[in-house]
Structure 1
């Protein structure tokens, strides 16, 4: 009768249903194996203690997480303070050694430029002679000096400015 309505032989319907049962059986076996693996992992996880010890472990770990969050916040505050303080520290350096006088050798005189982040700071010029050492300081504001700079001082300033 089915053959008349659908035009399909009952043999094909039986083969199709058998194939469907076979596929369902294979899927059932796969799911049973997966469930067995999950149960095994669960038993290993729960082994060695009761629920109370598991709860204690979780509480301990959560406390550690809270401590790490607090330590991280403290580190961030400290880093911000360090960066704020670094703006006023000397960060750029230029040094030029030279002979101030012809009779002296060894380049014992020098010009040292020290600048902060805003290119403000000082140039220290030490001139060495036979009679002694003379030291001068010139203030630098925004990369410029109010006082005329010597050639060596200008070189030290340019080194510090990376010009």
Structure 2
């Protein structure tokens, strides 16, 4: 799938909860490069309901060069037991302003629906000058949601995999 000069390629999502010790090998397999940030990153209640029950460490973040599309993967885990509880996959509009975010959102939605063998529930929101679409899937082991956000054209999309 191609839009402008951006080649869109499937991302390998983790549908099985990885162990903390497996993160490095998962990313090595996918060409991920570890990224260090000096800012405090916190999860919101919308990403992780009942977040107050857990104390999260700072996430481990990797970048993958997915064709010519930069993918950022953040592994969120709890401090006391190093259990990976949430993985966020994120993409932002590129600096060249090639319009690929909507196509990527559709591709991710299709891939997740096929993998889980269920159709996600999608809702649309428009508030003042911005809009977003959110699609959710649930099964016995995980809750997944994906969203796309834009002002005029789509500007970012995310896939959040939260393990139960």
Query: Same-fold call, TM > 0.5?
Result: no
Bigger Cα Rg: 1
Q: Which has the higher contact order (CA 8 A, sep 6+)?
A: 2
Normalising by the residue count of structure 1, what TM-score does the alignment of the two structures yield?
0.24
Q: Which has the higher helix share?
A: 1
Normalising by the residue count of structure 2, what TM-score does the alignment of the two structures yield?
0.24
Q: Which has the higher strand share?
A: 2
